[in-house]
Amino acid sequence: MQAFKVRVVKDSLVFCAGHFITYSGSCEPLHGHNYRAAVTLEGPLGESEFVFNFVTLKRMMKAVCDRLDHRMLLPTDNPHLDIRADAVGYTVRYQHKTYVFPREDVVQLPIPNTTAEHIAVWIADQLAVDLAADGADHLTALEVEIEETPGQSAVFRRELKRVAR
């Protein structure tokens, strides 16, 4: 069987977001990145003689990036954070630190930490849903790369379950 890859890396696939990471009993200072995202799809050629339509893939990826753009990313599955929500915002506590963020500025992500690796997994999850809804059942793999700063990125790859034709 032949397999092909398509990759999309565009200047429009970026998002600026704030975050912090907890690790080894510490919490790094609140900061942000101008993230860059890329996506690779693998599989045989589909009925239209391409792996997946570039225009559709760019649109899907841009929509996911736009959900994160200019937001504070909060990892809701982080056992070290106490996150409380009310009508106007979120209060986040880690040991002696307390942060308060306006509700409209926050995106809650069901991940354990807002590392580039976990953000890549979350984006892959979103794209997998979009691809399935688009009927892309011939794809064999999905790969998402998240670059925090130039030369510093994380890549997540997921094998996709193909539907027999």
Distance separating alpha carbons of residues 90 and 93, to the nearest angstrom: 10
Nearest residue to 144 via CA among 48, 68, 30: 68
Q: Among all residues, which ones are annotated catalytic?
A: 27, 70, 148
* Cβ(31)–Cβ(51) below 8 Å: no
- Residue 141's CB is within 10 A of a number of other CB atoms, namely 14
CA–CA separation, 116 and 149 (whole Å)? 10
For residues 140 and 42, is the Cβ–Cβ distance under 8 A? yes
- How far is Cα 92 from Cα 99, in angstroms, rounded to an integer? 5
**Six-digit token pair at 151?**
């030369």
